Every structure is written in structure tokens, then in C-alpha cells.
Amino acid sequence: MMYEATEGVETSSAANSLMETIVAKSPGELEFHQAAREVLDSVMPVVESEKRYQNAKILERLVEPERVLMFRVSWVDDLGEVQINRGFRVEMNSAIGPYKGGLRFHPTVNLGVLKFLALEQVLKNALTTLPLGGGKGGSDFDPKGKTDLEVMRFCQSFMSELFRHIGPDTDIPAGDIGVGGREIGYLFGQYKKLANRFCGVLTGKGLTYGGSLIRSEATGYGSVYFAEDMLATRNETFEGKVAVVSGSGNVAQYTTEKLLQLGAKVVTLSDSAGTIFDKNGIDEEKLAWVMGLKNVRRGRIREYAEHFEGTEYFPDQKPWSVKCDLAFPSATQNELDEDGAKTLVKNGCFCVSEGANMPSTPEAVEVFLNAQILYGPGKAANAGGVAVSGLEMTQNSGCMRRSRDDVDQQLRRIMGSIHENCVRYGKNGGVTNYVQGANIAGFVKVADAMLQQGVV
């Protein structure tokens, strides 16, 4: 079967031929194909100029997970009915450190989705400057509408299998969609019981049992810090800018918080059912209300429009048609398509920073690159979350605790260094292609480590 390259993207025959192998070996894994295609297109020129990468088949090895675990998760719901879900952990690459990456609980989870997330994680983690390999896991379990006890029983059953494969020096999971503080707590409790060991095997833990200050905030804050650095390249700041944010979970909430602190006006949030548009801006008080709605009452974003006057609700809509200067896609993959991207650019949006993983379709990315707006891809812009996870690991292993300011300053410094690295590898004339920059900078670090470790 021939693999169709994305229209308008320069491809090499080596990239096409590796893509065909990937598709033949992993049919149907569409999100993985999409993520791999982008990486291959960015890094192939580097590989073609370095014989040693070709001889050691670095790229061919990079797209093949080192190990994939897939297991049954059986549990009993509140009505006494037996439920069966599927659990996964994709251990993608451990060249520069132990496998590290989140767990996602969402009905759309399958092997292809987790392989795309794991590949992104490998390059993202390399960008953080920390010694972290890449992995991702999760389940097709849907926490929506489940009671706390059901979620606890599911997490315990999930960890009853996963615990034998993870550890603070081998594989350290964390949160992602559908996995927040509540789930990490239940997962940690079960790990500790089975392993008879209290250690930093998970990150995103509660502050009373080894969690790091700023971990909850880190992905959202980091995505705004990355945008701040992109804006600075054009002598711009957040002051007086209008921003649209998608999603209303962990990443969207703290993106909004940091944007407010830095002087921007945030006018949208969304969830899988629709978008709210608040022309007056979501202030701190309204944001606190959203956090209660989403993190405690676990309600729908529609309720915002019922609660706050002057707000509109657009069912089944994304935020991209709302006029703005800045956009922060912070919900899920492929939530921003070509039409959405064209509308954003037409309305004057000139900076997009991705809190989510791969939220823009390849066609949307093309629109941003052709328009030469500031476009920060997820693997660079959202790396703040895993970076603070890395700091949490060092606090756990050193039995120490950093202050809020200390962690926030380190996060700021790391985002600055990721930005610098993207510019170093992505600058082309006066314009930086952050997609190329992020992919090449991450790849070179992992590839060199793989070369030095031989064929394993």
C-alpha cells in the first residue's frame, strides 16, 4: 500500500518508504501515522546528512516501541455488574532516561493513540533538558459519570497489573486526560500496597505524599511561558491581547490563570459538548468557579453560560471562530482543523501555543506555517508538565522539597531553554519553524544517545 503524504509538505523518498513500512506494520493506527509522518518530514534531512544515523537505523528504531504492555482490567461497578476495560503501557524509548509519560483514561484510547502520544513524549522529554525517556499508557475506561468508588476500584484493578512493570528507575507514569489528582492517589495507594514500597513511582502526586508544588499548574503555565518567548521574538507581550482557550480541564484552567496574570483577556473555554464565549473576559473569580465546576462537581461547561450573564454557549462548536490575537488549544488531538486554522488567521490571530498533544491537524499546521504566524507545537509548548514531573522525581529521590517559587523559576527557565533550542534548530532566514526546531532538537539528543549505546 502506498502512503499518501500530506499535500504541500516536502517529503523525501526515504521518509515515504519508512512511512509505508510503518503503515504496513501498524495498520489502522491513524494518529500514530500522523505523528510519525510529521517527525519523519522534519528530521529526514538530518538523517540523510548523517551516515551514522542511517547505518544504525536510528529512525527505524525510534518509531518501534521498545515494549508494549496490554492487559485486561476487570472491575465491579456500584450495581454489582462486572465491567471489562483494556489497559496499556507503551514503553517507547529509554535512550536518555527511564520511560516517563502520562496515563489517559478516555473511551477513545487505543494502541494507535497511545503510540502517537508516546512518540511525541520521547521528543518532548528530550527537549526538557532532563534525563527522561518516553512512554504513555492508559485505558478506554470512561471516568465520566462514575462514582468515586467505581473510579477507585478501576484504578486498583488497573494498577494490579501495571505495578510489576513500573518503578522509580524504570517507568514513571503521571496524569493526562481523565487522570488527575484523584486517580493518581488511588493508583499510588494500590502500587504501594502491592510493591510494599513508598517511592516516586508516579508523578502528579498529592502534596501530602510526595507531590511537587506547581505540578498541577505546570503544563498550562509552561504553554503560556512558551508563548511569551515566541511573542518576544516579535517585540510583543500579552498586555491587552485577547486569547481563546479550548478545553476546561487541567491544562486549560492553568493556561487561563497564567494568561490573566500576564495581562491577557481570555474569552473562551470548551468541553466535548461545546464552547462558552464570555466577551467580558473570564476573570479570577469566574475561573475559580470553573475549577469548582470541573474538578469538584464534575459538571459541563454549558453551566458557565447559565451562571454568568452576558455569556454565550455554542453547542458542538470549537472556539476557533471567536476573534482573537492568541489561541491555546488545550483539549485533545485534532481539535483544530484546516477551516479552524484559516478562520483564526483571517481574524488576526498571530500566535498559537499548543497545551494539548497534536491538537492541530497536519492541514491546520500548514496554514499556520504558510501564514508565518508564531506556532508552538505541543511537544515544545506543553513540555512544562513533564518537566515539573522530572523535578518531582528529583525531590522524591533526594527526600527533599522545593518551594513554589523555586519550582516556578525552574519551569520558566526550562521553557526558555526549549524555546531557545527550537529557534536554534528551526530558524530559517528571519522566521522560526518551531515544528522543525522541536523535532530536530529532540531527535538529535535521543539519536546520539542511541548511537552510543549500540544496537539494543
Footprint on this chain of ligand NDP (rule: CB under 6 A): 106, 108, 175-178, 180, 219, 247-252, 271-273, 330-332, 335, 355-357, 382, 385
Q: Which of 100, 124, 136, 265 is catalytic?
A: 136
CB of 139 to ligand 2IT, least distance (A): 15
127 three-state secondary structure? helix
- Partner in contact with 100, chosen from ligand NDP, ligand 2IT, none, beta carbon below 5 to 8 Å by kind: ligand 2IT
Report the alpha-carbon distance of residue 287 to residue 260 in Å, rounded: 10
442 contributes a contact to ligand 2IT by CB under 6 A: no
User: Which of 35, 386, 411, 422 lies at the binding interface for ligand 2IT (CB under 6 A)?
Assistant: 386
Instruction: Name the segment binding ligand 2IT (CB under 6 A); options: 6-14, 65-73, 283-291, 385-393.
Output: 385-393
| Interaction between residue 242 and ligand 2IT (CB under 6 A) | no
- 76 neighbors 83 (Cβ within 8 angstroms): yes
Residue nearest to ligand NDP (CB): 249
| Residue among 155, 229, 217 nearest 423 (CA) | 229
Alpha-carbon distance of 37 to 319, in angstroms, equals: 27
Listed in sequence order, the DSSP H helices in 240-283 are: 250-261
272 and 235 Cβ atoms separated by less than 8 Å: no
176 binds ligand 2IT, rule: CB under 6 A = yes
Distances (CA, A) of 142 to 83, 116, 198: 12, 20, 28
Measured from the Cβ of residue 451, the count of other Cβ atoms closer than 10 Å reads 16
State the minimum distance, in angstroms, from the CB of residue 380 to ligand NDP.
Answer: 11
Which is nearer to ligand 2IT, 100 or 402 (by Cβ)?
100
Taking the C-alpha atoms of residue 186 and residue 191, their distance in angstroms, rounded to an integer, is 9
Q: Nearest distance from residue 120's CB to ligand NDP, in Å?
A: 9
Q: What are phi and psi of 260, to 5 degrees?
A: -60, -45
Burial-class residue 50 by CB neighbours within 10 Å (0-12, 13-18, 19+).
middle
- Contact call for residue 39 and ligand 2IT (CB under 6 A): no
Work out what residue 101 binds among ligand NDP, ligand 2IT, none; the CB cut-off runs from 5 to 8 Å by kind. ligand 2IT
From residue 110 to residue 149, the character string flagging contacts with ligand 2IT as x (rule: CB under 6 A) and all else as - is -----------x--x-------------------------
Taking CB under 6 A as the criterion, the residue among 22, 166, 174, 414 binding ligand 2IT is 174
**Three-class secondary structure of residue 138 per DSSP:** strand
Q: Which does 344 bind (CB under 5 to 8 A by kind): ligand 2IT, ligand NDP, none?
A: none
Distance, first Cα to last Cα, the chain: 29
**Residue choice 37, 89, 100, 258 for contact with ligand 2IT (CB under 6 A):** 100
Q: CA-to-CA distance for 155 and 183, rounded, in angstroms?
A: 7
User: Segment contacting ligand 2IT (CB under 6 A): 99-107, 188-196, 290-298, 442-450?
Assistant: 99-107
- In the complex, minimum distance from the CB of residue 370 to ligand 2IT, in angstroms, rounded to a whole number: 27
C-alpha cell at 387: 518537566
Residue showing the smallest CB distance to ligand 2IT in the complex = 102
Q: Out of 203, 248, 275, 311, which residue is the one contacting ligand 2IT (CB under 6 A)?
A: 203
Considering the complex, state which of residue 250 and residue 256 has its C-beta at the smaller distance from ligand NDP.
250
Binder of residue 133, out of ligand NDP, ligand 2IT, none (CB less than 5 to 8 A by kind) = none
Q: 112: how many CB neighbours lie within 10 A of its CB?
A: 18
- Between the CA atoms of 20, 448, 31 and 224, what dihedral angle is there, to the nearest 10 degrees? -150
136 is catalytic: yes
- How many Cα neighbours within 13 Å face the side chain of 72? 5
Cα 399 to Cα 376: distance, rounded to the nearest angstrom? 35
Whole-number minimum distance, CB 392 to ligand 2IT, in Å? 8
Residue 327: its H or E element? strand 326-328
Please tell me whether residue 101 binds ligand 2IT under the rule CB under 6 A: yes
CA 295 – CA 289 distance, rounded (Å):
10
| Minimum distance from residue 89 beta carbon to ligand NDP (Å) | 16
Q: Which is nearer to ligand 2IT, 378 or 426 (CB)?
A: 378
- In the complex with ligand NDP, the residue whose CB is nearer, 93 or 160, is 93
Other CB atoms closer than 10 Å to residue 300's CB: what's the count?
16
Q: Is 166 helix (H, G, I), strand (E, B) or coil?
A: coil
- Phi-psi category of 236—alpha, beta or left, where left has phi over 0 and alpha has psi -120 to 50? beta
Positions annotated as catalytic residues are: 136
Interface positions with ligand 2IT (CB under 6 A): 100-102, 121, 124, 174, 176, 203, 357, 385-386, 389
